[in-house]
Amino acid sequence: MSGSAFNFFGVWSRSDYEGAGELKTFEGRSFCSVCGSRVASLRDDEAEIMLGALDLAPSDIIPGYELWIGRREPWLMNLPWAEQYQNDREPRTIDAPPIEPDIPAPAQQPET
């Protein structure tokens, strides 16, 4: 859970996950044992990491899918290049090459 309108997660192969510090786990979700902030969901095959929990979050990540689109706010547009899931997705192996979508540039604002 987050106080933000959005939660951003990065998903990597479990073998690529490396963490430091003690985590406590409840129903598959891992939390900081000191402050209680959610950090990750670690499965046998993948690590789903809350990007806001990283000290140095990567800024070059492009989403490959969106979850829970049935709960999307009506003013928030979808990502046309990303797979869409009404709810959660089934866990799967993520050894595919990264997606490099053609993201449209923002419209230029007229000068005033």
- pLDDT value of residue 96: 47
39 domain residue, yes or no: yes
What's the total number of domains in the chain?
1
23: containing domain: 9-84
Q: Within the chain, which residues score under 70 in pLDDT?
A: 1-5, 90-112
49 domain residue, yes or no: yes
pLDDT, one tens digit per residue, over 70-79 is: 888 888 888 8
- DSSP letter string, 41-102: EE-SSEEEEEGGG-TT--S----SEE--GGG--TTSPP-TTSEE-SS--------SPPP---
- pLDDT value of residue 109: 62
2 domain residue, yes or no: no
pTM, to two decimals: 0.59
